[in-house]
Amino acid sequence: MTYIVNDRCINCRYTDCVEVCPVDCFYIGENSVVINPDECIDCGVCEPECPADAIVPDTEMTSELEYWLNINTKYSQEWPNITKKIDPMPDADNFNPTKGYTKDKTQDFNTEGAKDL
């Protein structure tokens, strides 16, 4: 089992999640983060930390969540590891679904690993 970061993280990237992970299994891209499913110990402490509600368990898989599991698996092997909180994306609150942003952000996913952290 693992937890999965979905499209709600995109263009928000608050990084509150990375601070609390006991096994440091978050990896950072240009506009989101992912979890390495093989390293995640399923502790669940990151889930309530995300201001965008972007982290979900894999207990009730849907085709959409399967898509994001594959994204997490792939890019956690390519992107740099992150263990400390950094500033959110510049417009994070405007892209936050919990603050009223309603569009699916899947198309905005940036496949590049974060640079100049």
Return residues touching ligand F3S (CB under 6 A). 5, 9, 12-17, 33, 49-50, 52, 54-55
80 binds ligand SF4 (CB under 6 A): no
Residue 14 binds what, of ligand F3S, ligand SF4, none (CB under 5 to 8 Å, by partner type)? ligand F3S
Residue 16 binds what, of ligand SF4, ligand F3S, none (CB under 5 to 8 Å, by partner type)? ligand F3S
66 binds ligand SF4 (CB under 6 A): no
Residues linked to residue 27 through DSSP beta bridges, in sequence order: 34, 81
Which residue matches tokens 């952290």? 117
CA–centroid distance for 18 within its chain: 9
Cα(112)–Cα(33) distance, rounded to whole angstroms? 11
Residue 21 binds what, of ligand F3S, ligand SF4, none (CB under 5 to 8 Å, by partner type)? ligand SF4
CA–centroid distance for 94 within its chain: 17
Helix H or strand E encompassing 69: helix 63-75
28 binds ligand SF4 (CB under 6 A): no
| CB neighbourhood size of 35 (10 A) | 26
Residue 13 binds what, of ligand F3S, ligand SF4, none (CB under 5 to 8 Å, by partner type)? ligand F3S
Residues linked to residue 81 through DSSP beta bridges, in sequence order: 27
Applying CB under 6 A, which residues contact ligand SF4? 3, 20-23, 25, 35, 40-46
